């Protein structure tokens, strides 16, 4: 029988089940690609199946530790225990991916058209992204907010294409992992009941119609119009067509060609 224990990673406490015989499960995502709602849905599904959710990325962010400080740290494997769902990743956890625990884990991942992701990143960094109370992560976010507020959207996106390409690149090879099921934002954002059932099938969980309805009650947000200052701004795919020139779209397509081809966005 499992019990809840606290494990430390980089000086930050994380609570998880220890002693379970279940799988190690991991939810992956890319920043501004539906990762927040995807993590929330997976968290709720895990809870229905008595699987604790360990918010690695979110907890470290609140503690002021930026992703670049820990993403490549293989000691993260020390917090992996069967019977837990690990998430909160907005970039590929390279250090974790080099471990046998990661290779044996069941994984789900959400990707999105990077053109829409870049538009979303502009509005998020300028207006709506929450900031940690202190630490390097807060300072980093403040710099990003100032840069976004002092730029028009085309200028800002132009400077963010290369960082987005670097973030997306590791997911191309990861897509070949037979234990990882990939969901495209565009295919499931308005088909969340199907998303939930497919996540459960892959993770060897169960979900009832009533549980799906409960999650839909808070997860299926569809703004009637664009809300630039709010976290849920627009939702609908294809927003980049109204926000980016054909030339800027072509720049994104050229630099992220392997990612866009792999996931059907080319």
pLDDT at 241: 93
Q: Are 154 and 248 in contact (CB under 8 A)?
A: yes
Query: What phi, psi does 181 have (nearest 5°)?
Result: -105, 125
Residues 130-158: pLDDT tens digits? 555 566 656 666 666 666 665 788 999 99
Stretch 40-63: mean pLDDT: 96
Stretch 162-188: mean pLDDT: 97
Q: Are 244 and 123 in contact (CB under 8 A)?
A: no
Stretch 57-66: mean pLDDT: 91
Whole-angstrom Cα distance, residue 230 to residue 150? 19
pLDDT at 250: 97
pLDDT at 44: 98
Query: Band of the pLDDT at 224, cuts 50, 70, 90?
Result: low
Question: What is the chain's mean pLDDT, rounded?
Answer: 90
pLDDT at 141: 60
Which of residues 229 and 95 earns the better pLDDT score? 95
Number of H helices, E strands in the chain: 13, 7
Strand ranges across the sheet with 180-184? 53-55, 85-87, 25-29, 106-111, 180-184
pLDDT at 142: 65
Residues 165-175: pLDDT tens digits? 999 999 999 99
pLDDT at 177: 97
Nearest to 193 by CA among 210, 178, 175: 210
pLDDT at 174: 97
pLDDT at 249: 97
Stretch 249-253: mean pLDDT: 97
Residues 86-104: pLDDT tens digits? 999 999 999 999 999 999 9
Whole-angstrom Cα distance, residue 66 to residue 76? 15
End-to-end CA distance of the chain: 48
Whole-angstrom Cα distance, residue 234 to residue 228? 8
pLDDT at 225: 63
Stretch 12-25: mean pLDDT: 94
Query: Band of the pLDDT at 228, cuts 50, 70, 90?
Result: low
- Sorted by where each starts, the structural domains of the chain and their CATH numbers stand as 3-262 (3.40.50.300)
pLDDT at 21: 86
Q: Please give the full DSSP string across 130-172, using - where no structure is assigned.
A: ---SSSHHHHHHHHHHHHHHTS-HHHHHHHHHHHHHHHHHHHH
Q: Are 95 and 73 in contact (CB under 8 A)?
A: yes
Whole-angstrom Cα distance, residue 252 to residue 163? 11
In whole angstroms, how large is the CA radius of gyration of the chain? 18
pLDDT at 127: 61
Q: Are 215 and 44 in contact (CB under 8 A)?
A: yes
Q: Model-level pTM?
A: 0.87
pLDDT at 66: 87
Q: Please give the full DSSP string across 219-260, using - where no structure is assigned.
A: H----SS--TTSSS----TTTHHHHS-HHHHHHHHHHTHHHH
pLDDT at 99: 94
Whole-angstrom Cα distance, residue 17 to residue 115? 38
Residue 184, both tokens: 């495209």
């Amino acid at each position: 029988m499992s019990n809840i224990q606290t494990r430390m990673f980089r000086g930050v406490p994380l609570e998880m089940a220890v002693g379970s015989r279940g799988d190690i499960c991991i939810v992956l995502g890319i920043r501004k690609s539906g990762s927040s709602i995807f993590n929330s849905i997976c968290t709720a599904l895990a809870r229905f199946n008595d699987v604790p959710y360990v918010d690695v990325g979110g907890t470290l962010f609140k503690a002021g530790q930026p992703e670049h400080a820990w993403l490549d740290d293989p000691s993260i494997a020390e917090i992996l225990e069967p019977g837990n769902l690990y998430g909160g990743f907005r970039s590929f956890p390279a250090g974790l991916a080099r471990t046998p625990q990661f290779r044996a884990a069941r994984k789900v991942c959400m990707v999105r058209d990077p053109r829409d992701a870049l538009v979303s990143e502009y509005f998020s960094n300028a207006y709506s992204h929450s900031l940690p109370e202190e630490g390097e992560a807060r300072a980093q976010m403040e710099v990003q907010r100032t840069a976004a507020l002092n730029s028009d959207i085309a200028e800002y996106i132009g400077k963010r294409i290369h960082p987005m390409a670097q973030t997306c690149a590791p997911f191309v090879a990861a897509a070949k992992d037979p234990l990882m099921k990939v969901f495209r934002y565009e295919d499931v954002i308005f088909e969340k009941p199907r998303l939930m059932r497919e996540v459960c099938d892959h993770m060897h969980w169960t979900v009832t119609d009533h549980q799906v309805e409960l999650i839909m009650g808070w997860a299926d947000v569809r703004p009637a119009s664009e809300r630039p200052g709010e976290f849920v701004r627009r939702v609908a795919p294809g927003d980049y067509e109204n926000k980016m020139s054909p030339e800027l779209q072509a720049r994104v397509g050229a630099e992220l060609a392997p990612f866009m081809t792999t996931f059907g966005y080319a």
